[in-house]
Structure 1
Amino acid sequence: MKLHRLVLTNYRGITHRDIEFPDRGVVVVSGANEVGKSSMLEALDLLLESKDRSNKKEIKQVKPTHADVGAEVTAEISAGPYRFVYRKRFHKKPETELTVVAPRRQQFTGDEAHERVRAMLAETVDLDLWQAQRVLQSAPTTAADLSACDALSRALDVVAGEVDDDPAPGGAVDTLLVDRIDEEYRRYFTLTGKPTGEWAAATKRLRDADEQVARCAAAVAEVDEAVRRHAALTADLAVLSAERVTAAAHLESAAQAEKKVAALRADLDRATARAEAATSTHTASQSALTERRRCRADIDDRTATITRLQAESAVATDELDTAAQMKVAADEAAEKARLALTAGQERVDAARGAVQRLADREEVDRLAGRIATIERHQRELDAVSGELAAIALTDPLMTAIEKAAAVVDRATAAVAYASARMELVAAADLEISVDGSTVTLNAGDTWSAGVSADTGVDVAGVLSLRITPGASASATQSELDDATAALSDALAQAGVADLAAARALDAHRQQLCGARRQVSAILDALTAEDSVADLQTRLTAVQARIPAADGLFDTDAAILDPAAQRLELIEATAAHQDAIRDCETHRKVADQAGKLVAQRELNAARIAQKLQSAQHELTTIAARLAEQRASVGDEELALKTDADAETAAKAVAAVAELRDELARHHPDAVVAALAEAERALATVTARRDEAVEALREIAAQLKVFGTEGRKGNLDAAETERERAEAEFGRVQRRARAAQLLRTVMGRHRDAMRQRYVDPFRTEVERLGRIVFGDTFEVDVDSELRIGHRTLSGRTVPYESLSGGAKEQLGIVARLAGATLVASEDSVPVVIDDALGFTDADRLTKMAEVFDAVAGDGQVIILTCSPQRYADVRSARHIELVAG
């Protein structure tokens, strides 16, 4: 299966998108987050799996929110011999269109088109492989499970030598046999091994028959039990009737004894009430006598307390007067200390102002000098910069002049080497003309020159000579002329006449540049902390603080002396600190004197209040005692208390006599005997009533049982159980046989799978060593899942690996499967925003893996970070934009 083209229209937030995929190799589809990369794979799945009128949640979620239109998905796909264009519109005006391009052109619409596509995919595509060959950003990083992929299984069978390159139907026969065995097994068991179908039905029938036999046998046993209970209840009823008569006689005897005890208890209650009344009267008399005595004692205590408090009040008044005098003296001393503190503060302020004025003048001088220095260096920098600006020569231009001079020197040497030499020797005095220039020679003189261009030599009236140099000499001369012209142009740009002048000017320019750098460095150092504007602002601010010159200083030399002013400030500050301490000390003394006055005032008030309270309490107690004596005298009250005590003692003695009499009759035993007799009679009566009711119910049951035919039902149930047991035995033998056959075939199939695990593991290790190194090994189980990874001899379970390593192994496993699957069975490998946990080095190595598998298959990478896959040399990049 290959995806050639995918078109989305009004799909989620995508208005229109049309992407063509290469038929083979790696394609990287990149775009920002939420641009709709994952939506492309989702749209392809909905196109292939869902009908256009589907109301599934997945379909509703892709409806566009920006327009009232239906979402459309179009894909061009090839699968096996088929190549087709498939389009669906969902939601509004749903429709489905299919155009089969190969092997012959056909067109379908509606459900017929949907079913045709499903049939073609089922015929040519391993759909389990199509789902397994995906690495999705939302999927967990568990080991890839490729065991259900038939296409991969067939490819591994070929590699392992199980079938030939031209597969015979043996593999299909084996698969069909396993399917038939699984089908037979599922007649009796579920996939988890629980009974189902015929085996469950036979088991249920036998269980139901057993339960029915048990129910019928229980019903027959119930009849026998009812007959036995009827006889037993009849005998029990006779015994219970005799016991009831005996219990009634015992109850009558206990009731007579209880009446005697009740009469004695009533007499005891009346005597107890009289004794309690006499005791209460005596208690009241005794309390009144005790109160009379307590009042007399309280009067004596209050009188002594008043005498003591009067003495304490006089002492407290004297102490208060002394404290008030102390507070007045402390307040006067504190006020004097405060006035001294104010004077000291004024002296400190005056001294500090004088010192500050002196410091301001020094700051003005320092700032003015610094500003003048900066301005002087700035003028020097401006002069140097102006002189440099007048020089046209620059470093590049000087370099060009030097290079041009070197070229001229090399060209001159080359001309001298390549040119012919012309040498003339004069036999007599004569004049000759060389290219229009006159040369005078005396007899015996020699003249020579190099010839690099056409040169004419004329001797008036004697001869005319023309010398033509070779082609190489002419070319060399042309190069010299060009170099000379270039040098002249460079010198003209620099405004100098020759190379020596240029070098002299450049040396002077370098000196000026050095001077400018030096002055700039000085200016930078001077203005590193503050600019000229900041310094000028500070100078203006300080000058504004300095008063006018007329009243700035006095004529006293001590005042004009900064040291004297600072010494005055130190002395004034020390005196001020002493004054602060004195003022604080006197203030604390005044505060303590105030607190002492308040404390003594409070103490005097408290004593006065106690004295007043004691006097009031004495008056109250005396009034209450007088009132009590007016009612009953002290002697009369004592006599009445003695008489009440004698009456209470007689009443208590009478209560004791009645209580002894009641105890001799044992009232608790009598009450217990009566209660026991009542309970015995009630129990026997209830048991007799229950026996009568139970006997009546059992008689009714026996009448009903006689009409139900329970024995016949038991015989029928036992017959059905024998039939169910026979059927259970037959089905059990078939079920166990199917189970045994499936177990043997499963063991055989696992052994076969284990043989083709090796090719898959070999391919995974081949690709994995590109990423993890030559020591990389993996352990692959029969389900083609990676269980452990080994690096440098250290084996780690897959689940213990980091997220990045799991992700890399998952991609490697799927790419290994893709390389092993036959070309006609291949499906696209889709990787959605993976390798986010991979470092730069591993990304480079993963790129080599992608390049290694970029063959006939398709690898589609969806990512928001295309730089992760920049090292995949064989990849084609497609960038998505919103819209």
Structure 2
Amino acid sequence: MKLHRLVLTNYRGITHRDIEFPDRGVVVVSGANEVGKSSMLEALDLLLESKDRSSKKEVKQVKPTHADVGAEVTAEISAGPYRFVYRKRFHKKPETELTVVTPKREQLTGDEAHERVRAMLAETVDLDLWQAQRVLQSSATTAADLSSCDALSRALDVVAGEVDDDPTPGGAADSLLVDRIEAEFRRYFTSTGRPTGEWAAATTRLQNADQDVARCAAAVAEVEDAARRHATLTADLAVVSDESAAAAERLATATNAAQEVAGLQGELDRATARAEAAASTHLASQTALTERRRTRADIDERTAVIERLKAECDIATDDLDTAREMKVAADETAEHAKTVVAASQERVDAARSAVQRLADREEVDRLTGRLATLERHQREFAAVQRELASIALTDTLMATVEEAAAAVDRAAAAVEQTSAHIELAAAAEVEIRIGDDVVTLSAGDTWSAGISSETGFDVPGALSMRVVPGASATATKAKLDTATAALADALQQAGVADLAAARALDLRRQELQAARRQVRAVLEALTGDDSADELRERLAAVSARLPADDGLFDPATGQSTDPGAQRLELIEAIAANQEAVRDCETHAKVADQAGKLLAKRELHGARLMEKLQSAQAELTAVSRRLAEQREAIGDDELAVKTEADAESAGSAAALVAQLGEDLARHHPAEVAAALADAERSARVVTVRREAVTEALREVAAQLKVFGTEGRKGSLDAAETERERAEAEFIRVQRRARAAQLLRSVMGRHRDAMRQRYVDPYRGEVERLGRIVFGETFEVDVDSALCIGHRTLSGRTVPYESLSGGAKEQLGIVARLASAALVAKEDSVPVVIDDALGFTDADRLTKMAEVFDAVSGDGQVIILTCSPQRYADVRTARHIELVAG
């Protein structure tokens, strides 16, 4: 399968996009985030799998929000012998169009076109391989699942030597046999081994038949149970009727006995009421007599209390006078202590002020000296700065001068070595013109020089000679001239005449710089955290606090006050002030206690006086009440009345006792209990009789209904159906178990065969992986073609324990290895969506070599927002997407 072209119109946020893909090799489709790279793969899946009228969530989500139009997807695809153009429009005015170009031209629309595409893909494309050959953003680190890819299995069979490149009839028959076994297994089981199809239907039929038999048997048992209940209820009704007659007779007897007891109880109640009234009258008389005696005793007791309270009031008055005198004395002492504290505080304030003025004066002296030193060093620093500013020479310029001087020396040495050396000896006095100079030589004198440029020698009237040096001497002389000019230019920039002056000036500059650093360090030490202006402001502030006459001179001697004496005076004043404060606090506490004692005694005297007045008032009230009671009835008359009321109460109580004995002989509690029991028994028997009658009526109605339902016939039919269902279950069970056993055996044999072609797949993975991980790279591949472990430099690590980057790289290598192994006619595009985000630069370069190594007939489509990751893929073609 190959994707030649993909066109999206009104798809999500894409207005229109038309991309043509190369038939083979690596193509990198790049673009910014949200430009719609992943949407291309999603659109291709929707085109191939969903109908144009589909209401699935995946289809609804791609509807554009900026316009009321339908999303359109068009793709040109090759699959086996077919090449077709397939277009769908979703959502609004849905339609499907298919144009088959080869092997013969066809044009279809609607569901017919959809089914035709599905049939062509099922015929020519391994759809499991198409899904497995993707590396998506959401599953970049997930191991590739290639276990169900038939195309890869066929390719591995070829590589492992199981079949030839052209499948033989035997091989096709083997594949057909496996497919038929799988189809037979799927008749009875799901892919996970759960019953389905005929096996599930037979099981369900047998279960339903068992349930029907059980239900019909329960219905027949229900009829038999109803018949037994009817006979039992009929016997129960006869028994309950006899019990009802006995209960009625017992209830009548108990009722008569209860009425007789009720009459005696009425007489007892009336006698009890009269006795209670007589007892109440006697109690009132007795209470009045007792109250009269208590009142006389209360008057005597209150008189004694009043006398005691008067004596206590006299004592409290004397104590109160003493407390007042103590309070006055304590207040005077406390007030004097406060005066002493105020005087000592004034002494402390005066001493503290003097000490503060001394400290301010010392601070002024210190700041003045510090500022003078600071200003002197600032002047020195400014002088150094001015001299440094006048020097044009810098470190860089000095280095340039030194380099130029060294170049001049080297060039002069080269000139000296390459120049011609001329030596003249005079036999007699002679005058010689050398260039523009005239040299006079006496007899026996010599002259010599090196010649680096064309020079003329003339002896007037006798000789003319021209010396021309070689080319090398001329070149070295030119270099010397250039170096000399560069040195002169550097010296001119430095403002010096020669190299010695430059070096002397540089030495002076370094000395000045050292002096500047030293003065700056002194200035920083003098200022510390404060600048000179801040020091001046502080000096001004401290000076302002000092008055013109700061009081630090002794008027008698005219000498400055001794700072030590002033500080000693402050310490003594503080100590005296603290002592006065402690005395003041002590006297204040004494005065406070005296005040509390005075208040306590005043309160005590007031309470005693209040109690005395209250006792006198209560005595007056009690005496008046006793006089009023005596006016109503005298003490003797009250005693006689109390005795008469006691006799009347005794007679009434005797009558109540007699009637109570009569009532007790009739045992009223037993009579009431018997009546209650009889009534309860009658009610219970009545309820039972009504319940049995109602139950008997219901059972009779049920039996009448059961007789019309034919439950026995239903049970016979259900048992017959169960026998048939059981026979069918056993027959299907034998076939299902046989298919399961056959599939298991074939699976074991197929796994064994797969083990033989795991090696070619592992070899291809290791071949490509060694490009990335090195020559020590090895992998462990199971029969399902899943990578279980990776070995590197002799260290084996499970796949799940690898880093995200290593998993991602292995996943891509595994898919590219399968793409390299699959036959050309079975190949599908390898799609990599924004992968290698966890990969470092070195691994990216090596992964590029892997892509180049597999860029053959297959398609590798890379979707990325970072095309620089794949810049090293030499064979890649790049397509850049833009929004819109």
Q: State the TM-score, normalized to the length of structure 2.
A: 0.81
2:740 counterpart letter in structure 1? Q
Task: Tell me the equivalent position of 2:814.
Answer: 817
1:268 Cα deviation after fit = 3.7
Summarize deviations over 1:814-842 as a string: whole Å, max 9, x none: 2242132124335223356964xxxxxx8
Task: Tell me the equivalent position of 1:460.
Answer: 460
Summarize deviations over 1:230-285 as a string: whole Å, max 9, x none: 55655555555555544444444444444443434444444444444444444444
Structure 2 counterparts to residues 573-592 of structure 1, below 5 A: 573-592=574-593
- Change in 2 beyond 3 A, CA 1:431/1:224: closer
Task: Tell me the equivalent position of 2:411.
Answer: 411
Task: Tell me the equivalent position of 2:539.
Answer: 539
Task: Tell me the equivalent position of 2:34.
Answer: 36
> How many Å separate the matches in 1 of 2:563 and 2:533?
30
Task: Tell me the equivalent position of 1:610.
Answer: 611
- Change in 2 beyond 3 A, CA 1:152/1:380: farther
> How many Å separate the matches in 2 of 1:625 and 1:750?
126
- Change in 2 beyond 3 A, CA 1:618/1:188: farther
- Change in 2 beyond 3 A, CA 1:779/1:64: same
* Aligned 8 A contact 1:767 1:849 in 2: no
1:530 Cα deviation after fit = 1.1
* Aligned 8 A contact 2:552 2:560 in 1: no
Task: Tell me the equivalent position of 1:838.
Answer: none
> How many Å separate the matches in 2 of 1:524 and 1:792?
62
Task: Tell me the equivalent position of 1:854.
Answer: 851
Summarize deviations over 1:79-99 as a string: whole Å, max 9, x none: 767999999887789899999
Structure 2 counterparts to residues 85-104 of structure 1, below 5 A: none
- Change in 2 beyond 3 A, CA 1:468/1:797: closer
1:113 Cα deviation after fit = 8.6
> How many Å separate the matches in 2 of 1:521 and 1:5?
78
> How many Å separate the matches in 2 of 1:727 and 1:265?
88
1:435 Cα deviation after fit = 1.9
> How many Å separate the matches in 2 of 1:245 and 1:476?
160
Q: Secondary structure at the match of 1:497?
A: coil
1:383 Cα deviation after fit = 1.8
1:531 Cα deviation after fit = 1.0
2:451 counterpart letter in structure 1? V
Structure 2 counterparts to residues 226-241 of structure 1, below 5 A: 241=241
Task: Tell me the equivalent position of 1:600.
Answer: 601
Task: Tell me the equivalent position of 2:823.
Answer: none
Task: Tell me the equivalent position of 2:525.
Answer: 525
Structure 2 counterparts to residues 355-374 of structure 1, below 5 A: 355-374=355-374
Structure 2 counterparts to residues 377-776 of structure 1, below 5 A: 377-548=377-548, 555-556=555-556, 557=558, 560-681=561-682, 704=705, 706-751=707-752
Summarize deviations over 1:756-781 as a string: whole Å, max 9, x none: 66777788889999999999998776
* Aligned 8 A contact 1:136 1:834 in 2: no
Give unpaired runs (5+ residues) of structure 2: 821-826
Task: Tell me the equivalent position of 1:305.
Answer: 305
Q: Secondary structure at the match of 2:427?
A: coil
* Aligned 8 A contact 1:126 1:151 in 2: yes
* Aligned 8 A contact 2:6 2:18 in 1: yes
> What is the RMSD of the two structures over their aligned residues, measured on CA atoms?
5.0
2:742 counterpart letter in structure 1? L
1:532 Cα deviation after fit = 1.4
Corresponding position: 1:338 with 2:338: yes
> How many Å separate the matches in 1 of 2:107 and 2:372?
97
- Change in 2 beyond 3 A, CA 1:833/1:245: same
1:193 Cα deviation after fit = 4.6
> How many Å separate the matches in 1 of 2:533 and 2:109?
85
1:510 Cα deviation after fit = 2.1
1:75 Cα deviation after fit = 9.0
1:200 Cα deviation after fit = 3.8
1:440 Cα deviation after fit = 1.9
1:723 Cα deviation after fit = 3.7
1:688 Cα deviation after fit = 5.2
1:433 Cα deviation after fit = 2.0
Summarize deviations over 1:521-569 as a string: whole Å, max 9, x none: 2222222321112112212222322334699867443654444443443
Higher mean C-alpha displacement, 509-518 vs 46-55:
46-55
2:320 counterpart letter in structure 1? L
1:130 Cα deviation after fit = 5.8
1:466 Cα deviation after fit = 2.2
* Aligned 8 A contact 2:84 2:98 in 1: yes
Q: Secondary structure at the match of 2:736?
A: helix
- Change in 2 beyond 3 A, CA 1:682/1:523: closer
> How many Å separate the matches in 2 of 1:101 and 1:558?
126
> How many Å separate the matches in 2 of 1:687 and 1:416?
152
Q: Secondary structure at the match of 2:457?
A: strand
> How many Å separate the matches in 2 of 1:440 and 1:876?
86
> How many Å separate the matches in 2 of 1:75 and 1:139?
27
Q: Secondary structure at the match of 1:821?
A: helix
Summarize deviations over 1:652-704 as a string: whole Å, max 9, x none: 44444444444444444444444444555555555555555555555555555
1:36 counterpart letter in structure 2? E
2:443 counterpart letter in structure 1? A
Q: Secondary structure at the match of 1:309?
A: helix
Count, aligned residues:
866
Q: State the TM-score, normalized to the length of structure 1.
A: 0.81
Task: Tell me the equivalent position of 2:325.
Answer: 325
1:784 Cα deviation after fit = 5.7
- Change in 2 beyond 3 A, CA 1:117/1:184: closer
Task: Tell me the equivalent position of 1:807.
Answer: 804
- Change in 2 beyond 3 A, CA 1:293/1:860: farther
> How many Å separate the matches in 2 of 1:678 and 1:828?
95
2:612 counterpart letter in structure 1? L
> How many Å separate the matches in 2 of 1:792 and 1:627?
127
* Aligned 8 A contact 2:141 2:811 in 1: no
> How many Å separate the matches in 2 of 1:19 and 1:354?
97
Task: Tell me the equivalent position of 2:832.
Answer: 829
1:574 Cα deviation after fit = 3.2
**Aligned partner of 2:42 among 35, 45, 56:** 45
> How many Å separate the matches in 1 of 2:410 and 2:374?
51
> How many Å separate the matches in 1 of 2:63 and 2:505?
80
- Change in 2 beyond 3 A, CA 1:189/1:666: farther
Q: Secondary structure at the match of 1:612?
A: helix
Higher mean C-alpha displacement, 244-253 vs 137-146:
137-146
- Change in 2 beyond 3 A, CA 1:644/1:242: same
1:100 Cα deviation after fit = 9.7
> How many Å separate the matches in 1 of 2:773 and 2:644?
119
* Aligned 8 A contact 2:140 2:808 in 1: no
Higher mean C-alpha displacement, 362-371 vs 277-286:
277-286
1:391 counterpart letter in structure 2? I
Q: Secondary structure at the match of 2:402?
A: helix
Higher mean C-alpha displacement, 433-442 vs 138-147:
138-147
1:386 Cα deviation after fit = 1.8
2:458 counterpart letter in structure 1? D
* Aligned 8 A contact 1:30 1:877 in 2: no
> How many Å separate the matches in 2 of 1:185 and 1:194?
11
* Aligned 8 A contact 1:807 1:834 in 2: no
> How many Å separate the matches in 2 of 1:431 and 1:551?
101
> How many Å separate the matches in 1 of 2:122 and 2:432?
109
Identity among equivalent positions (%) equals 67
> How many Å separate the matches in 1 of 2:778 and 2:683?
91
> How many Å separate the matches in 2 of 1:762 and 1:309?
124
Summarize deviations over 1:571-619 as a string: whole Å, max 9, x none: 3333333333333333333333333332222222233333333333333
> How many Å separate the matches in 2 of 1:736 and 1:271?
101
> How many Å separate the matches in 2 of 1:876 and 1:566?
95
